[in-house]
Structure 1
Amino acid sequence: MELMAHYTFAVSNPEIDPDLDRAATKMVVQTALDFPWLLHEILAISSRHLAFASPGRAAFYRAQASQLQTQALHLFNRRGEDDGSGIDETNCAAAVLFSSTLGRHLLADTLEDLHRRGTTDDGNDMSEESRKYDSEAALDRYCGYLQVHHGLRAVASSSWPHLMESDLWPLIALAGRIHTPRSSVRGTELRELSRWVETEAFGNTTTTTTTTAGLRDDEERRACLEAIDLLQIGLDESSLATGKSTLSSALPRSSRQAQQHQMTFTWPVRCPAKLGELIRKRSPPALVTLAHYAVLLHLSRDLWQVGPVAPRFLQVISDVLGTRYDARLAWPRAVVWGG
């Protein structure tokens, strides 16, 4: 009851307009009463937020959140075992809300773990050798999160054909609005990164390649370029866009921040699955691209799911890459580390 009383839609989606939060909360709770797996997950993220809001009982609430999340996944994976039903018009909205809420919950857990493991138990910085070892492990944990989140994306994707007829469509359209109008004038923060990926990072592109290696390079290049384009969308909606002659800069600051925060949460899952594979293989272009995601995390640091993790996130990638790519990390370091 405590967790239910604490839950609001803004707990999982803190960027939502406060005027819409009450109606959104009512619709989600009403839906959750019909789907135990969604009910368990909204209770889980409510407990996870209380762990942040009540530091004195953080361990208790974090344990509750973990147990409820595990039960939510168990119930979701068992859905339809008795009657053979899958995702249809009766449960599609609940499935999208479940995948979205669980995805944000997993990201919060992953980022907090990454931030917490950046220091020793007494709060001091790790030695360089220990930090390098820990950074490799931290990157592996982040790759595990990407793999699970892409699985949730598959669930959500199977639901979209049914959503237009759902009573919750207006809410879902609002909460998941990530394709926003953009002018022809775009930010230039990532122009040099795109040029490097396009022309240098994967070798010469001036000749047509038909070998297996060439085709593989093209696929990997496209994955990085798509991820960079999504990052630029988030940056164009952020505070960094102030003063630019873009369509988004004419919007109220709160609206721009909401759209930028949405990209902070959705970038990991909207990127091609190939990018996650490249990160697992420690591909330098993919890691350099991931390092620039730290800027979005930095700009969303006031959200409880993100917090002050960006410097640590960037340090992890820097440790894994080594010094060879320092020049490629100059801009995100300047933003996140303050130069």
Structure 2
Amino acid sequence: MLRRGHKKSRNGCLQCKGRHVKCDERRPVCMLCSMSGRDCSYASQMPSDSPLTTSTPSLEQSSPNDNDSEGGLTVPDITSFSGVSQSMINNCDDVALEKTINLSHMELLIHLTSTRDMFNLGDATNPYSDGVSLALQTALQAPYLLYQLLAFSSRHLVFLHPSKSTFYLHQAVSLQTRAVSLFNSSSIQVNSHNCVAILLFSTTLGHHLLADTLNRREPGGLEVFITHYVQCAEVHKGVYTITMTAWPLLMESDLEQTLLRSTRFTSRSPKGNHCQQATDLINSSGGLSEADKAACRLAIKYLQLGFDALLTSSEDQELEVRYQMIFLWAVVVPQEFTSLLSACKPEALIVLAYYALLLHYGRTMWQVGDAGEYIFHIIAEYLGAEWNTWLEYPRKTITTHWG
């Protein structure tokens, strides 16, 4: 690139001379000293009618040889009109010009603010723009949250643009890794100033990991899937722990109404009987302790709330979050149930098959797709024919829908 030549500054201030940068020689304070907050002083006085302070460059003052194009059009140096010279840009180490704007990140930011479907497994009652605005404002003081928001935006673009999925997936992983690294290195203690940022970070990370987990198709069948799902569930448990620990603080934050809606949803009494067969299995099982049975019943209760939300009339405004249990289930089920899944206990796997059915009902969600069908089939293959009776209801429903 051709660069405009310039004369050396002969009458610059002492501060710029000491820093070996080009001074614009403005009085009483030069531009660099003004921008960096330094004291500005000169060794000698300069005439007040100096061209640098009284004249304004015009288009005609640009040398034809500086920026010639093939068509003969002379392109003026825009720094001549802004009052900022190229040397100032090159040498000013105190101004926030150290990092160029990453256009890929700008794409993610624009996508985040303009695409409502990204968080369609969450609480959709509030206007999406309000929620994103709160998240971005909060992220200004919590960079780990900003990195995670951009990571999840890139993860959504993996789904929208399959031809560029490798690029967006790599970007999502890199940004998420950076987010987690920043969060872990901060040794953060939850308080009134950061509780919103921490919860938003944990929740967004949970949504991201769930999308990753539901889209995995790796060799190894059920055991490999269970490993990834349990890891995802552990992060979700972290969300729950943070929420409970900071509950009094969060009730005084902008998230109060959102959290109260989720609490009302999960504290309802189940209405349907879609999970009755799973309940019968747990009640009659001789291989589970009473504590294990209680954990399975609680997991089933939340699944039934998910089916109620999906299959009940949408006239109830609370049911605008009809797919929310797909995300919340890993958050609210007890740790004892997750441990049963880790051990691949058959009864727990039957309950998981009903979660697969819930996923199947939500197959239009970008995070889900055919995950319900896939998970159900690897469960059925793992358990074998002796457990077919207990899988009859989810199998019939999934087969009917895909037939």
Please, what TM-score do these two structures have when normalized by structure 1? 0.80
1:109 CA displacement: 0.3
Amino acid at match of 2:315: P
Considering fraction of residues, name the structure with more helix: 1
What CA distance in whole angstroms lies between the structure 2 residues aligned with 1:152 and 1:188? 29
1:98-124 Cα distance to aligned partner (Å, 9 max, x none) = 1111101000001111xx33xxxxxxx
Partner of 2:292 in structure 1?
220
Identity %: 36
1:5, CA displacement in angstroms?
A: 1.1
Deviations 1:291-314 (A, max 9, x none): 110111011111111112111010
Aligned twin of 2:166: 59
Cα drift, residue 90 of structure 1: 0.5
- 1:231 is displaced (CA, Å) by 0.5
Higher RCO by CA contacts (8 Å cutoff, separation 6 or greater): 1
CA distance in 1, matches of 2:349, 2:268: 27
Q: Does structure 2 conserve the Cα–Cα contact (< 8 Å) formed by 1:136 and 1:316?
A: no
Aligned-residue offset at 1:54 = 1.1
Which is greater in Rg? 2
Gaps of 5+ in 1: 118-130, 204-215, 242-248
Pair 1:187 & 2:294 matched: no
**1:321 and 2:393 correspond:** no
AA in 2 matched with 1:201: S
Contact 1:93-1:159 at 8 Å conserved across structures: no
Q: How does 1:104-253 map to 2 (within 5 A)?
A: 104-113=207-216, 116-117=217-218, 133-173=220-260, 176=262, 179=265, 182=268, 186-198=271-283, 200-202=284-286, 217-239=289-311, 241=312, 249=313, 251-252=314-315
Quick one: distance in 2 between partners of 1:18 and 1:167? 14
Instruction: Deviation per CA, 1:187-245: give whole Å up to 9, x if none.
Output: 112123212211x1136xxxxxxxxxxxx701100000000011111111112x3xxxx
Q: In 2 relative to 1, CA 142–167 (structure 1 residues): closer, same or farther, beyond 3 Å?
A: closer
Question: Retained in 1: the 8 A contact 2:139–2:197?
Answer: yes
1:31 corresponds in structure 2 to 138
Q: 1:106 and 1:290 mapped to 2: Cα distance?
A: 18
Rounded Cα–Cα distance in structure 2 between residues aligned with 1:337 and 1:277 = 29
Which residue matches 1:10?
116
Give 1:179 deviation, angstroms.
2.1
CA deviation vs aligned residue, 1:234-283 (integer Å, no higher than 9, x gap): 111112x3xxxxxxx3x427753x33311111101210111111111111
- How many Å separate the matches in 2 of 1:264 and 1:279? 17
Aligned to 2:356: 294
Deviation at 1:328, TM superposition (A): 0.3
How many residues are matched?
294
Unmatched runs of 5 consecutive residues or more in structure 2: 1-105
Quick one: structure 1 residues 152 and 334, their matched pair in 2 at CA, closer, same or farther if it must change by over 3 Å? same
Contact 1:139–1:317 (CA under 8 A) maintained in structure 2: no
Deviation at 1:62, TM superposition (A): 0.5
Q: Give the corresponding residue for 1:126.
A: none
Offset at 1:97?
1.0
Instruction: Give the structure-2-normalised TM-score.
Output: 0.68
Distance 1:237 1:74 in 2: 37
1:280 maps onto 2:386 in alignment: no
Asked if structure 1 preserves the Cα contact closer than 8 Å seen for 2:278 and 2:390, the reply is: yes
Residue in 2 that maps onto 1:74: 181
C-alpha separation between the residues in 2 aligned to 1:227 and 1:11? Answer: 27
Q: Distance in 1 between matches of 2:116 and 2:246?
A: 23
RMSD: 2.3
